[in-house]
Amino acid sequence: MCWTRPKIIIVVSLLFVIFLCSGCMGGQEVDDLSFILTIGIDKSDEPDMNIFTFRIAMPRSFTGDSGGENKDKTKLVSVKSPNITEAIRQLGIALNRNPELSHTSALFISEEVAKEGIYPYLTMFLREQVYLNTMSILIIEGEAKEALKKNTAPFELFQYRWIDSLKRVQKFAASSLINDVNQFYMQIKEPTHAVATGYGTIIDNSLQKKSPMPLPHQSIPQYGVEDFPREGGTELIVVGSAIFRDWKMVGKLNMSEAFGAVLLNKGIQTTLTVEDPFVEERKISLGIDVKNPKVDVDVVDEKMKIDINIIANCELSDVVTDMDYTNKENRQIIEKKINEAIESGVQAYFNATQPFGADCIEISNQYRAKVGTWQEWSSHDWPSLYRNAEVHIKVNSKLKRSGLLWREVDERGAGDNV
């Protein structure tokens, strides 16, 4: 065999790669580590002290040796400490293992802490680039420690995947804005100084709760976290968002208000239920798809004007009457009803955030292209402008498809084509 120079380089490179993949993490044996999956932060009864709760997984928890069973492979450990760095040091002493933050997926922060300001608890993560995009922030009504206890993630094989599933479903559920540490920081340091992130609480599993009624001319129920009727699933539910100004929580968005925020922020692909305009006490459910709503912002004489144009493609999904919704006249009536429902959700978002001057989804940034310099952009008092902004919302929905059922059937199952 002829050992040419390229072959020697390839062999040496492969040996070097094998050496790097020898099973140690940062020069430490994996079995010597304890992986922190989530961190909870609560106030303590002592001044300048907090209670930090960690959900810990040992390395063997990730080996899948349970045959696919979802057993509790994690433990909760709480320590009292003045800051999170010291808390992690105390955690290592308590476990006789080195804490590892590479798998930390969420920070659970109690509402009491959030109202006083969360900047002191994020500084460590802001200085470490590796953590910025992996840790989501959730504000908890009540104690974060209790939320960690109740959040058993029954449908996840591994605990750390729970927050990823929660974030993925939001484009469909459209019930909450959830931001990670990096997104939170990037928005707070903008001249608007506002951001929103997920808000959750522990609720009783009960179908006995009365579902909240929509407001007049509104089809989206005003769910808050405390009145969500359901049975089964995890006891921690995230519905709505916490509103922040200058690192402090100042208010909340309910489900309807968060719907408007998610729609304007990223667009949505979800379902919408509206009142049947032809049959009393009946509902119609539709699939809706909204992509890239057009938002135009203008500032004249220190007065802000926001023009929003939304195009929604819709498809009939769940109809319980024998009414023909496919003819042109009826379709236009339904489209008008859809327009009103979407407009009410977007308007609800502005009604909730404008009193705080909290532009949580950075609508003001649409004005950046109209100014020449950063000095000109930052010279405006954006919170005040947003608080007094004039908002115009235009929705144009199109019922593109009626589904495969082209002739409605009666309650006996017989139709015109039978």
Task: Give the CA count within 13 Å in the CB-facing half-sphere of 74.
Answer: 27
Please tell me the predicted confidence (pLDDT) of residue 42.
96
From CA 230, how far away is CA 346, in angstroms rounded? Answer: 26
Residue 110 · residue 44 · CB < 8 Å: no
Distance spanning both ends of the chain, measured CA to CA = 80
Burial of 222: CB neighbours in 10 Å, binned 0-12, 13-18, 19+? middle
Instruction: Name, of 33-37, 261-265, 326-330, the range with top average pLDDT.
Output: 261-265
Tally of CA atoms within 13 A in the half-sphere of 265 that contains its CB: 24
pLDDT of residue 370: 86
The Cα diameter of the chain in Å comes to 87
- At residue 320, does pLDDT exceed 80? no
CA angle 66, 68, 73 (to 5 degrees): 50
Highest mean pLDDT, choosing among 34-38, 157-161, 405-409 = 34-38
Per-residue pLDDT for 246 more than 90? no
* Residues contacting residue 247 through CB under 8 Å, at least 6 positions apart: 117, 118, 119, 188
Taking the C-alpha atoms of residue 178 and residue 267, their distance in angstroms, rounded to an integer, is: 15
Strands 106-110 and 136-140: parallel
pTM as predicted: 0.81
Is the Cβ–Cβ distance between 294 and 309 less than 8 Å? Answer: yes
The answer for 171, left when phi > 0, alpha when psi is -120 to 50, beta otherwise, is: alpha
Return the pLDDT at 77: 93
- In this prediction, residue 252 has a pLDDT band, given cuts at 50, 70 and 90, of very high
Average pLDDT rounded to a whole number, residues 340-350: 92
Tell me how long the chain is: 418
Average pLDDT, the chain: 80
Quick check: 273 and 190 in contact, CB under 8 A?
A: no
Alpha carbons within 13 A on the beta-carbon side of 42 = 19
| pLDDT value of position 216 | 41
Asked if pLDDT for residue 286 goes beyond 50, the answer is yes
CA distance 236 to 150: 6
Report residue 7: phi and psi, to 5°.
-65, -40
The confidence score (pLDDT) of residue 50 equals 94
Task: Report the 3 state secondary structure along 151-185.
Answer: CCCCCCCCHHHHHHHHHHHHHHHCCCCCCEHHHHH
Give the residue-averaged pLDDT of 335-355.
Answer: 92
Residue 300 dihedral angles phi and psi, to the nearest 5°: -130, 125
Helix, strand, coil shares, percent, the chain, to 5: 35, 30, 35
